[in-house]
Structure 1
Amino acid sequence: MNDPQPTPTAPTESALPRYRPGIKYILMLGAIAAIPAITTDIYLPSLTDVRDELATTDAMVAMTMSGMLIGGAVGQLMWGPLTDRYGRKAPLLVGLALHIITSLLCAIAPNITILVTLRIMQGFFNAACAVAAISVIRDRFVGATAARLLSQLMLVIGVAPLFAPSVGGAIASFGSWRTVFLALAIIGAIMAVIVARFLPETLAEDHRLTGGVGRVAKGYWTLAKDRKFLALAMLPALAMTTIFAYVVGSPFVFQEHYGLSTSQYAVLFAMNGLAMVFSAQLNASLVRKFSPESLLRVGLGLQLVLALALVLWGATGWGGFWTFEVTLWLLLGCQGLIGANAQVLALANYGHMVGTAAAVLGSLQSGVAGAVSPMVGVFGGDALAMAAVIAAGLILANLIVVFGTDLTQAGRKARARTTLQRAIKEREIGDSTHG
């Protein structure tokens, strides 16, 4: 019988080889990671056309969007272990190939049921892109360097959704909504060629995990038992909830409540998107001087204050449109301090199974955001509903930071008390056993 392989240890920043990624490398990884977002947003202008041609309802058409989130949440849990076992490049190429196939099938879908099913599959398959991109960075970088590169990655990912709806609308104007899916297949093919030619494999053979389903289950069980990891993993998920609550509620808030036209709303959406892009770039600069822990605490604290102000403006109508919009812009402008820093801290101890850990992070983001963001509509779809959902998520995020992590003084004290209580209990058990 073969001896079990020792579990590789997570590399430290000093132990990793020196590597200075260029702008082309960051753009390539950003484009790979942005494929799920592009696949979702490029299709937005075509929703009414799909409804009319397939003779269906708004609710069923909306399922073609939420289906992407559902598929992505489940898919990342599969692709993560695969990237830890077979390397980053091969699973990524398989995921891109399946993305191309499902995009072509979406283009010829005869009814809404088949289209929804294919969109779930599409989300499942292109989930490989997000997992692989984050894993490639974590293979080579940790700490502040990884946080800076992830922020630059988020910068590229953040730009894509700003232009994807406009590009999708232009493509559909030359054909139909089916043409948009042909374009997605072409994008997938281009990225597959780029990955095959220019993306090096970053996971060495001797660092790959072996074993079958049992090993995968053991990896997920290890993560499930790590309360600090789970606490940190929830922070990007709740940050994503803020974004999706805004995306879901903003058309109703700004077009119906504040009376903006379609073109005015499009400009506003781009402006608010730029706030997130700028903050990601700001975080990339700040992590050179401040720790990811500090930036995460500050970002979540500022967001909570701004979210509570949004609730007040939404409830009272005080200050009108500009007060609400400026507060929202500032709140979205703190997003860059949350996701990248929380991900780096969560992955810090799991360099030996980063694909699996990144899969849990991504799955929680898609799952939590997909489950919570519809609450905006449930609570009325107005400014107060959107602000309340955002504020609730941020209250929970700040409570997690204080009581679920050691990122604050209170959290460190709580962790010390737990450790002390565990030690006392173990000693009491030991004494009773010896007695």
Structure 2
Amino acid sequence: MSEFDFDLFVIGAGSGGVRASRIAASHGARVALAEEYRVGGTCVIRGCVPKKLLVYGAHFAEDLKDARKFGWDVPDCKFDWNRLRDNVLAEVDRLEGLYGQTLDNHKVTLFKTRATVVGPQKVRLADGQEISAERILIATGGWPHVPEFPGSEHAITSNEVFHLETLPKRVVIAGGGYIANEFAGIFNEFGSKVTIVNRGDTILRGYDEQIRDRLLQISMTKGIEFKFNAPFQSIEKNDDGSLTVHLDNSEPIQADAVLVAAGRVPNSKGLGLEEIGVELDKDGAIKVDEANQSSVPSIYAVGDVTNRIQLTPVAIREGQAFADSVFGGKPTVVDYANVPSAVFSHPPIGAVGMTEAEARNKLGSIRVYTSDFRAMKNVLAGRNERALYKMIVNAATDQVVGLHMIGPDAPEILQAAAVAVKAGLTKTDFDNTVALHPSMAEELVLLK
């Protein structure tokens, strides 16, 4: 008999923690999992899944208008926020149930409570119960960062935005990253007046400059207002419940809701990690090696709490690699090269590999191919919005090292194209592929 209560104790039932738990259990490990909020984590409960459902809902605003050009007699339609909100939350409930069922099917013991680490091989539940485990995995994810300023308590984050009682008529969004731009598109399509306020001068830092400039141009055309180099001073709550947002270098803005989307930080506070010698970086991320092992040999971490790449599929890969390596006898290391990403803005962005600037700095000699076009659907609908596809090629080897796209269904197209970039295919390989016509994706094999 083992001297421990469990072979593995996982803290955090998000995408990485759930994957690690069920795979470890499938390898025969005795696994326990603690989650203080809801099974499913940020992505399922208050992140990418409910957000994508809101994105789908927002698209109908333009689709219903465009349908008239395609012969459909569509009357003026009224949007019901409460109905969409409740339907989305019901779907979240359904998915949470499925995640719980998966854990149960794999005989993972689930503790629906907070757990903290009190020793290299011991955790303590909120009720005081202490449990021993040969290994502990931290998979607590990230948490929205809210800068401290007067009145910051009147702002909401992406945690609360899915639960708004009413649709705000005026929304101020703080930040310039993917969460800020995604919710700007959502609220704008729902009819809210949206203002993005950014303390810097760039949106979507890390994405290709031409692509992010195109999103800025289209967003402004759609009516979204941007204020750059305008840090928050304060938020003042008025007698009627509205908010006045005071900014540096700008006039005050009146709003009904303020959404702070200023990035996410590793959710490691209060877990007892530093007290037992687990090394954290300056942002609170758990430092781990390529085997996901921390400075304490019995403690591992995966997902956003390590702050490597904050993407759900990456957390899942890390959880799988950890379980296979430690409990399955299959040493696995996650490859972080050419990880595709998307911004579900209006229109959406898909990207994989190096940007033009990164490629020039790293490779020196590159070739850049672009296609700037109007999607066929937009032409007939009378919508002037243009898509932009961009391919970065290593001039010395002809290898495609980056693909960047903005336009309808860009993430759906990019996923398949990312396989080609990951496989190291060349521009000639793309050229030799017959186009699928008529489609937007064919632009990728017609670039000249």
Q: TM-score per shorter chain, which class?
A: under 0.3
Which one has the largest radius of gyration?
2
TM-score (norm 2): 0.25
TM-score (norm 1): 0.25
Between structures 1 and 2, the one with greater helix share? 1
Between structures 1 and 2, the one with greater strand share? 2
Tell me which of the two structures has the higher relative contact order, counting C-alpha pairs closer than 8 angstroms and 6 or more residues apart.
1
